[in-house]
Structure 1
Amino acid sequence: MKTFNTADVVYADRTDYWRHAISQTFVPLESTYAGSERNGILQAGVWGDLRLSEVSCSAQEVIRGRKGADNNPDNMILLSFVSQGKTSAVQGGNHASLSQGEFALYDTRFPYELHLDGETRQHVVQISKDHLSQRVGKTEHLVANAFGKQHPLMPFLQMLLNNLMTLPEDISLKYAAMLHEQFLELLTSVIADECSNRSQAKTYHGLLFQMKIMINQRLADPALTAATIADAFGISSRYLNMLLKKDGTSFGRYVLNQRLTKAADALHSPLHRATPISQIAWRSGFSDMPHFSREFRARFGCSATEYRQQSSEPVQTVQKY
């Protein structure tokens, strides 16, 4: 695990040291301490696809500028979970004020600001935008919104983050994949529940988000239809397809894409290395293997068997940070 501590450098050098620490760990950032205190401890580790950091620091302003975002088009979503103090996140016209037990998302491809009020402690998770989008669809409307206040699953999410920081980074890829899956399941559940309880659930983006969550939860059902999803939301199939068309897709294309992505993820995952490809296809919602094979090759340019072979890791341990 990598550790940065401002106590290791003289006071006059701490601002530059801390700016380098957070920029190296996350993305290029500008930071300015908001008072005479210039303290900060950052620990960062990698467990498979899980990239997690714990940050404790004094009051400061952190800015991801337009120039930095343009020059470093990272495909990452950051999640800040506050364990102590107060933090504000600003992006895309949204503003989230976070207190203990809450989290917010922000997209590294675009400018954002973080305002840390006094001594704060938080966990920061770097999430692949593709992994999150697969579960929730487009993420633009989710950034800089506060999530998790009094949600019953939040203690489990916090426990997972705390426990991860105590694990060695050389745990097996199988266990790292399990933890990554558990984290995404908890995260998606909290976001979906809280979006459904807010007024934005009645908007175009909110309704589309809820529909995609339900579709993704039912991908394994080969009988999944637009009518079943539309009925669950009390809308017509025509209106459902109109919403998806505005999103640049259709029900059939979206379901096929999600099923193929789910199958590809399983073929890549060490959790399913011994699982027969036919079973992976079935669990992803395909009931016809020739159809699955044709669509998989059309999407990825190779057979499922070749894809699995290309995705195989040469070693059984996680690379260190």
Structure 2
Amino acid sequence: MDREQTAGIAGDLESGQDHREQLPQPAEQPTSLMTRSEELQDAASGLLLPLRVTAPDAHPFRARVESAGDGLVRVGIVRSTPHTVRRGPRIMSSTDPDLFKVTLHRRGSALVSQDGPQRRVATGELLALDTSRAYTLVLPDQCEVVVLGMPRDLLGPHAQALTRRSGTSVPTDAGVRALCAAVLSDAGDHLDALAAPRAARSMADALTGLLISALADVSAESVELPGVSLLERIMEYTLANICDPELTGTAVARAHHISLRRLQQLFQGEERTFQAWLLHERLRRIHRDLSDPALRCRSASAIAEHWGIRDTAHLARRLKKGFGCTVTELRQAGQR
């Protein structure tokens, strides 16, 4: 890239102009223009976790960053001139959050390396990154990147499968990948809508399933054991139908043309049995809704029934055992 092109890019970022149709600017957090890579480093590290950012000395540096979300999930959009992002052993710590990072490269290509040779990330592609392992991401042109960071435990049993895809990009030209990219891109354009904790959590639920599906059909999938793939499909099906009170092990097994015994065998390597896992997922959603001040007018039993639990007689005891707090304590916490 020559100086004339770089000067044009710098002017675009200063004025807010783009070489294509102007994108909507999120209203949540207007940011000042950054003129040093150290400023972007601070902003990017604050968004997710510690990173090292450098930029070519020969060109003027310009960047803007906006972000939204809560402790559960963070979304940001980075618009910048060329730079390099590194996450290496010197800045990695055991106290860093255990995050799975996904980037959508809306403008500009990139070069990524993690545990292997450098790979190209084309404009429009999704890139998955396991932040517990060192990586380098080179953005040689003016870029516009939507960044998503979510706790690894949100991925449940899919975490290991997605981790194996780390450092690998996928196109978003069709199917569920196109849908996933559209949702993530829209989130980047409307960060103000994610300011409310409930909105951020709802987006996390929606994107988790989409990301699992979007990143499933890559080369690593061909070496998956059939049982693992079946387990993933069963979990996705169960979570998609979790509000149905008739959802039982027998019903799920029938829907996947396997026996109940086979279903139980698939969960032998998991932390919980199928029934215990289903109950935990329902209680987790009930726990979330009871903490939401927007739902304070709904009774605990109504919330439980919405998530497929008809027998609410032991709800308080189950919440206390599973999450260490009572219904009353959750309601009070949501009002603070």
* TM bucket normalised to smaller: 0.7 to 0.9
Pick aligned residue for 1:45 from 63, 67, 73: 67
Backbone CA RMSD of aligned residues: 3.3
Structure 2 equivalent of residue 137 of structure 1: 157
After superposition, the C-alpha distances for 1:125-148 in whole angstroms (9 at most, x for unaligned) are 232444x33xx5342321424353
Distance 1:207 1:85 in 2: 37
After superposition, the C-alpha distances for 1:199-250 in whole angstroms (9 at most, x for unaligned) are 7275354333222111112222233222332333343433332332223321
Structure 1 equivalent of residue 326 of structure 2: 303
The structure, 1 or 2, with the larger RCO (C-alpha pairs under 8 Å, 6+ apart) is 1
Contact 2:85 2:138 (C-alpha < 8 Å) held by counterparts: yes
| AA of the residue aligned to 1:157 | V
User: Are residues 234 and 149 of structure 1, via their aligned partners in 2, closer, same or farther at CA, if it must alter by over 3 Å?
Assistant: farther
After superposition, the C-alpha distances for 1:53-75 in whole angstroms (9 at most, x for unaligned) are 22123333322123433343213
Distance 1:279 1:313 in 2: 19
Contact 1:277 1:305 (C-alpha < 8 Å) held by counterparts: no
Pick aligned residue for 2:210 from 175, 185, 189: 189
Displacement, 1:280? 1.0
Structure 1 equivalent of residue 26 of structure 2: none
Once the two structures are overlaid, the 10-residue window that deviates more, 259-268 or 74-83, is: 74-83
Distance 1:180 1:262 in 2: 10
Contact 1:25 1:44 (C-alpha < 8 Å) held by counterparts: no
Question: Any idea what SS the aligned residue of 1:161 has?
Answer: helix
Structure 1 equivalent of residue 265 of structure 2: 242
Distance 2:34 2:317 in 1: 56
> TM-score with structure 1 length normalisation?
0.77
Structure 2 equivalent of residue 259 of structure 1: 282
Distance 2:34 2:216 in 1: 39
Pick aligned residue for 1:164 from 158, 169, 190: 190
Structure 2 equivalent of residue 5 of structure 1: 33
Contact 1:30 1:62 (C-alpha < 8 Å) held by counterparts: yes
Distance 2:63 2:47 in 1: 12
Contact 1:53 1:123 (C-alpha < 8 Å) held by counterparts: yes
Structure 1 equivalent of residue 110 of structure 2: 87
Structure 2 equivalent of residue 317 of structure 1: none
User: Are residues 95 and 239 of structure 1, via their aligned partners in 2, closer, same or farther at CA, if it must alter by over 3 Å?
Assistant: farther
Question: Any idea what SS the aligned residue of 1:80 has?
Answer: strand
1:30 matched to 2:52? The reply is yes
| AA of the residue aligned to 1:43 | V
Alignment of 1:211-230 (within 5 A): 211-230=234-253
Contact 2:102 2:127 (C-alpha < 8 Å) held by counterparts: yes
Distance 1:107 1:207 in 2: 24
Contact 1:96 1:104 (C-alpha < 8 Å) held by counterparts: no
Distance 2:279 2:123 in 1: 40
Once the two structures are overlaid, the 10-residue window that deviates more, 243-252 or 147-156, is: 147-156
Greater strand content = 1
Displacement, 1:263? 0.8
User: Are residues 39 and 232 of structure 1, via their aligned partners in 2, closer, same or farther at CA, if it must alter by over 3 Å?
Assistant: farther
User: Are residues 239 and 87 of structure 1, via their aligned partners in 2, closer, same or farther at CA, if it must alter by over 3 Å?
Assistant: farther
Displacement, 1:177? 2.0
| AA of the residue aligned to 2:63 | I
Distance 2:228 2:53 in 1: 33
Displacement, 1:187? 4.9
Question: Any idea what SS the aligned residue of 2:50 has?
Answer: coil
1:279 matched to 2:307? The reply is no
| AA of the residue aligned to 1:26 | L
Displacement, 1:287? 1.6
User: Are residues 20 and 179 of structure 1, via their aligned partners in 2, closer, same or farther at CA, if it must alter by over 3 Å?
Assistant: closer
| AA of the residue aligned to 2:159 | T
Q: Percent identity?
A: 21
| AA of the residue aligned to 2:300 | I
| AA of the residue aligned to 1:5 | L
Question: Any idea what SS the aligned residue of 1:246 has?
Answer: coil
Displacement, 1:281? 0.9
How many matched pairs?
A: 299
Alignment of 1:8-19 (within 5 A): 14-19=36-41
User: Are residues 2 and 90 of structure 1, via their aligned partners in 2, closer, same or farther at CA, if it must alter by over 3 Å?
Assistant: farther
Structure 2 equivalent of residue 150 of structure 1: 174
User: Are residues 259 and 53 of structure 1, via their aligned partners in 2, closer, same or farther at CA, if it must alter by over 3 Å?
Assistant: same
Question: Any idea what SS the aligned residue of 1:83 has?
Answer: strand
Pick aligned residue for 1:268 from 285, 291, 312: 291
Question: Unaligned 5+ residue runs, structure 2?
Answer: 1-28
